[in-house]
Structure 1
């Protein structure tokens, strides 16, 4: 009898513990009828502010935002997709260079926004974004921020060297300007991590309408566009115009401490420069990326992100309605700009902030420089093999600038290796 009573008590205790454990576990919209979103860093306060505004018109709306590290989001997203969608939220932030890979590897993972009316909003965004998000005739995400590019430059160094930044229209002119600046000031033209990153190469490829793959998914590391980009990078190195900056911190430090004269990058770099180089206010300007030939395209992109809705959410319409508001609400886009994100919503570009002179940037309306190129950014095909292609591209760049092999041989070897890796 005592054993029976003890067994009953044990079962009851286990049941109570299980109930308590369930109450403390991470909830999803399936459990508590609220939307859940995963995001990181500066994106979180933008989501929070938008949710508060949306709730004013939709009082029953609830959004739980789970802040995770960027790589944690991808790790958990991948794990959840491999498990058939288990443990995933309703909404996830995914960057431009990742979204095609996920959509191709898991074709049923994301809600097709075309079925919910996205076509009515499509013209509010640049084609480079809507093309990116159209995978297998499905629209798999809402465009959010972008990375239109430009050359951030130190006006004080250019003035000391007698170089006018606005006269630089081509990469050849950029190199010549770099030589003059090096001669007059002793400073390098730009910082690059030639053995660890190929950001400049990617910008150059994008402005030529390409990347590691063409629009059909064929490798183009040995293409004319690739050779154009690689030759400029090698010439910059050979002319002594590059400061070796290994890693993000060294790159930023070289800019704000005055070790380099320029930084070709995405618009988002403005946040890092103004944040970490407060004492350099009034010593910066921005020009469009140089072209490969006079009159050539100077628009490119580096970075950007989007929001996807998981197909297995039980709140499809609710998630769509909120993200449609989020991605087209002008106040939300202005909120995003405070954190350094650049909105891709084109209906906002006539707002005063885009034409206001920025004291930090020598009273230049730098946002206008970026908005003017949004419609000219070529669409590119990242594919699901983007990360391995980047790995081989960086190896090729490192080998090419070392001088041990020719540029052509370095990129041919990389393309051959990549073909084996993506079989």
Structure 2
């Protein structure tokens, strides 16, 4: 989805303006807003399912269509209205508008991990510990489980995950006798060797992407964001950030990355013809390659994410979504029951069968999942690599409680490093300054 800068700025402002305000709960029956405070036991949730009712789910993820059908078959008295209110930022704008208006709020909303803190701090989504979400500790892999926490609260159930790995074109590597890089130093060396051998070929593409940059800093052990309620610090001078910038700057300055934007027609073409030889990206990527890069069938493979230190075993997350229950939802009990069904119970397997990458340990550790062969990847059992990555995500990462806005100004700051003499480190300092200024304007205590 293409998001204009104006749209993103308006979204960031709309969300952050209400961050420090308390969202109003709705009144209604036993499944209403009061349930978030009073809580609901397993028996209460089952009773709500048996009694039935109607809930509205806002989500764009395609595998949920099958989940909804299965859920309604199991609980025939429950009607689920699945609505695509827009992808990502479009839905967040609609959700925030509904919350402000006090009407039209869905009972369940898909919210990406990076955006969830904004809704949690603004009390726009309910703390699910009241429904027993805390008892799911150990059910999910560390990255997604950590992402749905804010303070002592749990504000969503992980729906999928994006542990990072190295996707590479084996045909290109074999042609130029390039070994699969195990470290970032080896990756840089491979970039130079490839581009020297074929000036039209690049190790990867990059024109500046906030999600990729923060994921790389995360893997390097960086923790530029520290969040304690409305107290926030932003510091891109930490060691982890500098590890990333010192390495990636070599690729940018050496013109060793293709100046092609991800998800563009040129990007798909490059992935198909071998002129873009690798992607360092989340585990949700295989289905996109299979459907969007048919010319690459049989050529691509998956390897562990290159490491900052030889022998290391550190990864990070890139992407992924949760299912949250808005505080103003009219049917919280049914909403939570559906979210749990979709993310933990039978729906979790249905989504994996539909091509989603799981956040649940049960699916990740299943032999059927790990041993599946993918014809597109030369019959490689790629899930073994991806599941291992999920277990190696560096803990302790935090996003800003206004990350949506911060990401919207990434190209105005860090993005300049790709089109001018600005360095990545200087660009990150500018991004830091912009994030600090904006946070202070919104009422946060920021340093």
Same fold at TM > 0.5: yes
Flag structure 1 segments of 5+ consecutive residues without an equivalent: 1-28
Residue number in structure 2 paired with 1:411: 428
Residue number in structure 1 paired with 2:15: none
Residue number in structure 2 paired with 1:88: 105
Q: Choose the corresponding residue for 2:144, options 123, 129, 133.
A: 129
Q: CA deviation at 1:396?
A: 4.0
Find the aligned partners of 1:400 and 1:240 in 2 and give their Cα distance. Answer: 12
**Is 1:344 aligned to residue 359 of structure 2?**
yes
- Report the secondary structure of 1:130's partner residue: helix
Residue number in structure 2 paired with 1:188: 202
Find the aligned partners of 1:214 and 1:393 in 2 and give their Cα distance. Answer: 19
Flag structure 2 segments of 5+ consecutive residues without an equivalent: 1-30, 33-51, 441-447
Q: Is the 8 A contact 1:144 1:344 kept in 2?
A: yes
Q: CA deviation at 1:47?
A: 2.5
Find the aligned partners of 1:118 and 1:418 in 2 and give their Cα distance. Answer: 32
Length-normalised TM-score, structure 1: 0.84
Residue number in structure 2 paired with 1:102: 119
Larger radius of gyration: 1
Q: Choose the corresponding residue for 1:315, options 331, 340, 347.
A: 331
Q: CA deviation at 1:355?
A: 1.4
Q: CA deviation at 1:337?
A: 3.6
Q: CA deviation at 1:138?
A: 1.6
Q: Choose the corresponding residue for 1:377, options 389, 393, 397.
A: 393
Task: Kindly provide the CA deviation profile for residues 267-296 of structure 1, in whole angstroms up to 9, marking residues without a partner as x.
Answer: 122112111222321100111211111133
**Is 1:214 aligned to residue 218 of structure 2?**
no
Find the aligned partners of 1:132 and 1:402 in 2 and give their Cα distance. Answer: 33
Q: Is the 8 A contact 2:114 2:403 kept in 1?
A: yes
Find the aligned partners of 1:325 and 1:120 in 2 and give their Cα distance. Answer: 15
- Give 1:195-234 correspondences, 5 Å limit: 197-210=209-222, 212-214=224-226, 217-234=232-249
Residue number in structure 2 paired with 1:10: none
Find the aligned partners of 2:108 and 2:262 in 1 and give their Cα distance. Answer: 31
Q: Choose the corresponding residue for 2:312, options 287, 296, 310.
A: 296
Residue number in structure 2 paired with 1:76: 94
Find the aligned partners of 2:380 and 2:282 in 1 and give their Cα distance. Answer: 17
Find the aligned partners of 2:438 and 2:120 in 1 and give their Cα distance. Answer: 20
Residue number in structure 1 paired with 2:172: 157
Q: CA deviation at 1:224?
A: 1.9
- Report the secondary structure of 2:279's partner residue: strand
**Is 1:354 aligned to residue 374 of structure 2?**
no
- Report the secondary structure of 2:166's partner residue: strand
Q: CA deviation at 1:357?
A: 2.2
Length-normalised TM-score, structure 2: 0.79
Q: 1:164 to 1:113 in 2, by over 3 A?
A: same
- Report the secondary structure of 2:225's partner residue: coil
Q: How many residue pairs get matched?
A: 383
Q: CA deviation at 1:55?
A: 3.1
Q: CA deviation at 1:392?
A: 4.8
Q: CA deviation at 1:375?
A: 2.4
Residue number in structure 1 paired with 2:182: 169
Residue number in structure 2 paired with 1:422: 439
Q: 1:316 to 1:419 in 2, by over 3 A?
A: closer
